[in-house]
């Protein structure tokens, strides 16, 4: 079975203003590299808009209404907080981003494809039930996890997040949910300053595994975090569906943080996650783009990630 890519031109219309790192050029760089012959057999589909029902599995109606009421009707940029900006096209982009993950879950769950990658923006893992933050409007990975559980009945849904920033939103939404798993590596002293090792979930709720890495950490510490802590816990959880929050801003070239990873580190982890999905989840894996703000490094990392998915 093939790998399926979900994206949509609407995701380019989320305008965050001049010099903002979370910009449309991120997707343009990914689109350019996917013209390479390696991806001729990559299936491609347009992301649908998420439904209100899908959003309300994790967000309140008040939060959804606040996002859409904040959108400008002209070409201005509106500041939701010091990091998070929206434009007239941001609502459609955010609906496409969340909708892509749900559609990817549909396709993987019904065996239309082996796995899927969602090349979308805005990212999602900082968005909490009642708050947009950290460039994120809706919690895309969590929306996908709830969709997998509530629509298809998967009982052990895991989210693994290798973005350089801790996915506080995803964690908060899965924390109290039995049958959910959230694991993250992230820079210890970076926004949003959450994801401490002692944040491990609650009795009767989800499993949480956090491995913060010191600024300047490179391949050895990153790989050890997965080999020694996260992957053993993931295997013990035995997920029947795996969602990946694929942020590539831990790359050494990225301007927003200070981990020192390289393309081969993301390829290595992608292979490990594909193997877990193959062993426990019938290959059911959906990956969604989070961060990554050096466009050349981002495109190279996404290409490596997709090559693994296509070969998995």
Tell me which residues are annotated as active site: 126
DSSP state, residue 192: T
What's the CA gap between 139 and 268, in Å, rounded?
A: 26
| CA nearest neighbour of 309 among 278, 265, 263 | 278
| CA nearest neighbour of 91 among 61, 74, 67, 73 | 67
8 Å CB contact between 173 and 129? yes
3 state DSSP class of 264: helix
Could you count the other beta carbons within 10 Å of the beta carbon of residue 38?
13
| CA nearest neighbour of 136 among 75, 102, 94, 189 | 94
Burial of residue 121 (number of CB atoms within 10 Å: 0-12, 13-18, 19+): buried
């Amino acid at each position: 079975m093939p790998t399926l890519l979900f994206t949509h031109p609407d995701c380019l219309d989320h305008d965050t203003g001049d010099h903002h790192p979370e910009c449309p050029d991120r997707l343009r760089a990914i689109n350019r590299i996917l013209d390479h012959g390696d991806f001729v057999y990559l299936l491609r589909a347009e992301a649908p808009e998420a439904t209100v029902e899908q959003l309300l599995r994790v967000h309140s109606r008040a939060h959804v209404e606040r996002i859409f009421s904040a959108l400008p009707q002209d070409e201005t940029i509106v500041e939701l907080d010091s990091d998070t900006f929206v434009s007239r096209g941001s609502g459609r982009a955010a609906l496409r981003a969340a909708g892509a993950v749900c559609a990817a879950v549909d396709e993987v769950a019904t065996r239309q494809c082996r796995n899927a990658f969602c090349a979308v923006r805005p990212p999602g893992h900082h968005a909490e039930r009642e708050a947009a933050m950290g460039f994120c409007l809706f919690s895309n990975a969590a929306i996908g996890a709830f969709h997998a559980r509530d629509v298809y009945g998967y009982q052990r849904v895991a989210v693994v997040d290798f973005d350089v920033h801790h996915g506080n939103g995803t964690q908060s939404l899965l924390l109290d949910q039995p049958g959910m798993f959230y694991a993250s590596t992230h820079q210890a002293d970076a926004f949003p300053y959450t994801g401490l090792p002692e944040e491990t979930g609650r009795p009767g709720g989800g499993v949480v595994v956090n491995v913060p890495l010191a600024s300047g950490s490179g391949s050895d510490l990153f790989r050890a975090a997965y080999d020694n802590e996260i992957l053993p816990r993931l295997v013990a959880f035995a997920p029947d569906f795996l969602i990946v929050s694929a942020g590539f801003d831990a790359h050494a070239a990225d301007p927003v943080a200070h981990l020192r990873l390289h393309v081969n580190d993301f390829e290595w982890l992608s292979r490990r996650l594909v193997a877990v999905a193959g062993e426990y989840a019938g290959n059911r894996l959906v990956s969604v783009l989070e961060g990554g703000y050096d466009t050349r490094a981002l495109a190279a990392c996404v290409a490596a990630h997709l090559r693994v998915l296509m070969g998995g």
